[in-house]
Amino acid sequence: QLRYAQDVCSRYGILEKGSLLAYGTLEAISRDAGLHMRASLRLREGDSPAGFERGGDGWWYADVLSEDEMPKLIREAVTGGHEIYEARLIRPTLEDVYFKYVSLNGGKQP
């Protein structure tokens, strides 16, 4: 399973039908596939922070390029009067990257 490979490897190769579609660190191949980290916030009901989209699960989401953006996003939400109950940084998994390259793109590079 891919989650086990993610736990023990530092570089990955995505292959399909003998063709190497991607190779590198998880961060690099995620970026090359167009997948981004996401900031997620669980807020008081009725809150709607600027720059975030509401998910169907009650969380608010925003794409971030770097984890360094999280403190600023949290600070801006609090300064804007929002009550944050929980904050998470969601990184693409190896499985996310694999399916982006292989399944969703028919084996073509994104």
Per domain, the residue ranges of the chain are 1-35+92-110, 37-91
Residue 41 is encoded by which pair of tokens?
């916030």
Residue 44 DSSP symbol: -
Q: Which pLDDT value is given to residue 56?
A: 82
pTM of the predicted structure, to 2 decimals: 0.76
pLDDT, one tens digit per residue, over 86-95 is 999 999 999 9
Tell me the per-residue pLDDT of 31-40, one tens digit each, with 9 for 90 and over.
999 999 999 9
Closest Cα partner for 63 from 25, 30, 101? 30
AA identity, residue 95? E
pLDDT at 27: 92
Average model confidence (pLDDT) across the chain: 90
pLDDT at 6: 92
CA distances to 38, 45, 57, 105 from 49, rounded to whole Å, are: 15, 11, 16, 33
Q: Counting Cβ atoms within 10 Å, is residue 77 exposed (0-12), middle (13-18) or buried (19+)? A: buried
